[in-house]
Amino acid sequence: MKYVLLEMDRILRPSGYTIIRDSGYFIDAISTVARGMKWGCRKEETEYGVEKEKLLICQKKLWYSKISQD
């Protein structure tokens, strides 16, 4: 899972979005990894309110390391 997210991070442009639809368990795990990669994430319910499925909407942020800001 983390390798897929790293590849998505490489492909996505800054401010790009990704929408992931999966079970609540995997959405929580993906959200933890995505937040560690400095993505902004929010969880949403599916349109039909299926309890097993959730949506995770993430936006890749543009960020700089502290070294490059000096």
Burial category of 8 from C-beta neighbours within 10 Å (exposed 0-12, middle 13-18, buried 19 and up): middle
pTM above 0.85, yes or no: no
User: C-alpha angle with apex 41: 59 to 31, nearest 5 degrees?
Assistant: 120
**pLDDT per residue over 26-54, tens digit each?**
999 999 999 999 999 999 988 776 678 89
**Tokens standing for 27?**
């959405």
With tokens 């959405």, the residue in question is 27
Mean pLDDT of the chain: 88
